[in-house]
Amino acid sequence: MTDKNIKQVKEFFEARGIKTTVLAFEETTRTSELAAKAIGCEVAQIAKSLVFITDKKAVVLVIASGKSRVDTGKLAKKLEASEVKIADAKTVKEVTGFPIGGVPPVAHSKPLRTFIDASLMSFPVVYAAAGTPNAIIGISPEDLKNVTSAEVADVFE
């Protein structure tokens, strides 16, 4: 959980011509509520990156609004899987290269099929983790959707 992680995220966006600003905080921003409080935005504007694994060992990323909860039944149906569960910390670190609480939506160790919460698309800016549990990056939801090749999907409760 170092500045190396933040640099990796910034360089990912810069290489794609997307201007972003990283906000670093003294306090942790590892939950949607804490991040929103630190930034001074709505919890719904937080774009949390959640990793899920299917019974067939497929790993996917869901970029969810801070107010949304993933419905694993809907996600399983979307993935044509029998079961989907949230990935454990070891798997998250392995497939993304980042620690839980600081997982950004980009710059992962392995490419991940990605879904994005439609409710994020209504904001001019959303805020996602920038590689550590106390760094956030602001980005337009359209840029986020495009740069992650995310599918807008209803996989939420």
Question: How much is the mean pLDDT over the chain?
Answer: 93
Domain count, the chain: 1
Q: Is pLDDT of 1 > 80?
A: no
Enclosing domain of residue 64: 3-152
CATH number at residue 30: 3.90.960.10
Q: Over the stretch 24-60, which tens digit does the pLDDT of each residue have?
A: 898 888 889 999 999 999 999 999 999 999 998 999 9
Structure tokens at 32: 């949607």
Please report the pLDDT score of residue 106 as a whole number: 96
For residue 107, being part of any structural domain is answered with yes
For residue 139, being part of any structural domain is answered with yes
Q: Over the stretch 98-144, which tens digit does the pLDDT of each residue have?
A: 988 899 999 999 899 999 999 999 999 999 999 999 999 999 999 99
- Distance of alpha carbon 150 from alpha carbon 99, whole angstroms: 21
Say if residues 20 and 12 touch (Cβ distance below 8 Å). no
Please report the pLDDT score of residue 141 as a whole number: 95
For residue 157, being part of any structural domain is answered with no
